[in-house]
Amino acid sequence: MLRFIVGRLAVLIPTFLGVSLIAFSFIRLLPGDPVMLMSGERVMSPERHTELMQQLGLDRPMYIQYFDYLTGLLTGDFGSSIVTKRPVLDDFLQLFPATLELSLCAIIVAIALGIPAGVLAAVKRGTWLDQSLMGVALVGYSMPIFWWGLLLIIFFSGYLGWTPVSGRISLMYFFPQVTGFMLIDSLISGQAGAFKSAVSYLILPTVVLATIPLAVIARQTRSAMLEVLGEDYVRTARAKGLSPFRVIGVHALRNAMIPVITTIGLQVGVLLAGAILTETIFSWPGIGKWMVDSVFKRDYAVVQGGLMLIAAVIMIVNLVVDLLYGWINPRIRH
Amino acid sequence: MSAVQTTTETKTGGSPPSGLSEFWFYFSRNKGAVIGLAFFLVILFVAVFAPFVAPHSPSIQNRELLLLPPVFSEGGSWGHILGTDAVGRDILSRLIYGARFSLFIGLVVVTLSVVSGVLIGLVAGYFRGRVDTAIMRVMDIILAFPSLLLALVLVAVLGPGLLNAMIAISLVNQPHFVRLTRAAVMTEKTKDYVIGSKVAGAGTLRLMFLTILPNCLAPLIVQATLAFSAAILDAAALGFLGMGAQPPTPEWGTMLAEAREFIQRAWWVVTFPGLAILITVLAINLMGDGLRDALDPKLKRS
């Protein structure tokens, strides 16, 4: 197991270097003068230009600039916003809990509904239940989620008036940020109605973000289950007279879960990509909306830093999933 | 594929079915796939003959009929079946012209990512060693970013627009083809028929492209269909974010972005472009499922 961990970590180093190289080159590939792009000043005298160039280190050879950038990254310096001058890392840490809360809720919903739906479809293979479940799953898989979000807003916020349109919690409530998770913080604050408000704001974005992972998990669970249900040991378990519930729930599901766990791990990227759209539609103050806003504000220092940080999150999650996978399925370690 | 054909031939007996009729036999058993194909052909027809099918021009603004509701709701008229948008353009006509963009985007993205992905994957899987390691590390790097974010940033570098959006989406799609081709090439390369041709004196290029590649096509075709629909979705998402096709292009995602502010007043401006995206993507995905059933030898035996 140790060798496996070390091996996975070793693969991560070149990927990290590559990702940082992309983030580093990004700002230098943009059309326009890098000094102006990085300082945010539109008009400047030649003297000021030279001064800034030295200040930003842009007068030095490219490889030294990259090396400086790398050392910066390793000491937690991801650059500062051109607009607000705040360190990118601070903004990221401030906004990340909102995205994390939304993504966690979405993946929990997706797993809680997707796995039972997939198992049910596999057990009832070929029936109308299987066909309708998989039909719905395919629609979910094909869904343009930015449109789905708008439809839900039209119906639930506009027509029924049940849920708020945008934001994280009603402005009526104010409480200190402890965990950064609105659901938990609102409970800790003890204010009446705060938790309910937080839930009402969270519900539509969660549904939107969960749609594609839910469909993918349901489809993957069904096909993994079908494969396992045809195995000899499942037939043996049945022949032994075990209850169908035990055969499916214990014997089959355990082994069918292995590919499903990989699928769930792969949803991290899907969730973060989905968060960009979901947060934009619902004005959810997370990193997805932050990145889109920064692209539009031409705050390229934030885009660069955010790119690096988001890639780092995905790399870490992938590593954890890989390790978990190796732990569950010892065959993979070799 | 040849191995698969022999098994079915022995099963059916008599004259061996041609590859195409055999494919159709399995594809048509999946009803969803046939429905998907039918829808896709209709969309294709509409896109190709857009100027003849569309009742109005997609860009002419009728200042007297702003935000006219669709025909089946109150106040609608047969003149504009799906109503008009905020500047009085016919929505149905814009959707019909929009089909051209979506299918074109899908086609270009799939072609670009398949050609580059297959070439790179073939090299990686055939030569292995350091070349392979280097290629796969680069693919890992691309895959370390959420695809839409990378596409968004690439478009920010290249400048917003349809062409740049297509280039960006092809780039983020292409690692899937590299991985798939590489894996398929690695399994095929050790098989007897490849070693046989090698002993018989086939050159490297012949081995790569004529001996091995045709036998790796099945999973690639399935992945290409998935990439086709994913490309349409991604391009629409970029358009929606304002980074894809620019207004007044009747691209479906861009139309949605323009319609966002009328969300409370005119539901049809928001509903129909999204429905068009959903139906197109769904039709292609249904076909993809059918293709997988028809091309996957493991499923055929059941």
Q: Average pLDDT, stretch B223-252? A: 90
Q: Average pLDDT, stretch B168-185? A: 91
A141 chain-B contacts, CB cut-off 8 A: 285
- Round to whole Å and give the CA distance between A290 and A273: 13
The answer to whether B276 touches B95, Cβ cutoff 8 Å, is: yes
Question: Which pLDDT score is estimated for B9?
Answer: 45
Confidence of residue B182 (pLDDT cuts 50, 70, 90): very high
The answer to whether B235 touches B102, Cβ cutoff 8 Å, is: yes
- Round to whole Å and give the CA distance between B81 and B69: 9
Question: Which pLDDT score is estimated for B301?
Answer: 45
Question: Which pLDDT score is estimated for A237?
Answer: 86
| CATH numbers and ranges of domains, chain A | 88-333 (1.10.3720.10)
Residue B77 sits at φ, ψ, to 5 deg, of: -140, 155
pLDDT tens column, A251-284: 888 888 888 888 888 888 889 889 999 999 999 9
B220 pLDDT more than 50: yes
Cβ <8 Å between B263 and A292: no
Question: Which pLDDT score is estimated for B111?
Answer: 94
Where is B268: in which H helix or E strand?
A: helix B267-295
The answer to whether B89 touches B78, Cβ cutoff 8 Å, is: no
Q: Is the peptide bond before B16 cis (omega within 30 degrees of 0)?
A: no
How far off is chain A from B38, nearest CA to CA, in Å?
Answer: 17
Confidence of residue A116 (pLDDT cuts 50, 70, 90): very high
How far off is chain A from B117, nearest CA to CA, in Å?
Answer: 19
Confidence of residue A333 (pLDDT cuts 50, 70, 90): low
Please compute Rg for chain A using Cα positions. 24
Q: Which of residues 73-112 of A touch B (CB under 8 A)?
A: none
A270 chain-B contacts, CB cut-off 8 A: 146
B53 pLDDT more than 50: yes
pLDDT tens column, B189-216: 888 999 999 999 888 889 888 988 888 8
A150 chain-B contacts, CB cut-off 8 A: 256, 260, 263, 270, 274
The residues, any chain, with a CB within 8 Å of residue B186's CB and separated by 6 or more, are: B125, B128
Higher pLDDT, residue A155 or A58: A155
Highest CATH level, class, for B28-295: mainly alpha
Question: Which pLDDT score is estimated for B302?
Answer: 42
pLDDT above 90 coverage of chain A, percent: 33
Confidence of residue A217 (pLDDT cuts 50, 70, 90): very high
B260 chain-A contacts, CB cut-off 8 A: 150
How far off is chain B from A23, nearest CA to CA, in Å?
Answer: 10
Higher pLDDT, residue A249 or A99: A99
Mean pLDDT of chain A: 86
Question: Which pLDDT score is estimated for B2?
Answer: 45
Question: Which pLDDT score is estimated for A242?
Answer: 85
- DSSP output for B32-62: HHHHHHHHHHHHHHHHHTHHHH-SS-SS---
Higher pLDDT, residue B18 or B10: B18
Nearest in space to A65 (alpha carbons), one of A20, A16, A13, A19: A20
Question: Which pLDDT score is estimated for B8?
Answer: 45
**pTM value > 0.90:** no
- DSSP output for B169-192: HHHHHHHHHHHHHHHHHHHHHTSH
How far off is chain A from B140, nearest CA to CA, in Å?
Answer: 7
Classified as helix, coil or strand, B13 is coil
Q: What is the ipTM of this complex?
A: 0.87
Q: Which residues pair with A87 in a beta bridge?
A: A80
State the residue for tokens 């627009």: B161
Question: Which pLDDT score is estimated for A183?
Answer: 83
B19 pLDDT more than 80: no
Residue of B nearest to A132 (CA): B32
Higher pLDDT, residue B18 or B37: B37
State the residue for tokens 């090396």: A67
Mean pLDDT of chain B: 85
Q: Which of A141, A146, A262, A319 to mutate to test the interface with B (most CBs of B within 10 A)?
A: A146
Question: Which pLDDT score is estimated for B14?
Answer: 62
What are the tokens at B263?
């969300």
pLDDT tens column, A129-187: 999 999 999 999 999 999 999 999 988 988 888 888 888 887 777 777 778 788 888 88
B300 pLDDT more than 70: no
Higher pLDDT, residue B87 or B5: B87
B298 to chain A, any CB pair closer than 8 A? The answer is no
How far off is chain B from A188, nearest CA to CA, in Å?
Answer: 34
User: Which among B157, B159, B277 has CB closest to A144?
Assistant: B277
- Round to whole Å and give the CA distance between B186 and B166: 30
Three-state secondary structure string covering chain A = CHHHHHHHHHHHHHHHHHHHHHHHHHHHHCCCCHHHHHHCCCCCCHHHHHHHHHHCCCCCCHHHHHHHHHHHHHCCCCCECCCCCCEHHHHHHHHHHHHHHHHHHHHHHHHHHHHHHHHHHHHCCCCHHHHHHHHHHHHHHCCCHHHHHHHHHHHHHHHCCCCCCCCCCCCCCCCCCCCCCHHHHHHHHCCCCHHHHHHHHHHHHHHHHHHHHHHHHHHHHHHHHHHHHCCHHHHHHHHCCCCHHHHHHHHHHHHHHHHHHHHHHHHHHHHHHHHHHHHHHHCCCCHHHHHHHHHHCCCHHHHHHHHHHHHHHHHHHHHHHHHHHHHHCHHHHC
Cβ <8 Å between A280 and B270: no
Angle between helices A194-229 and A253-282 (to 10 degrees): 140
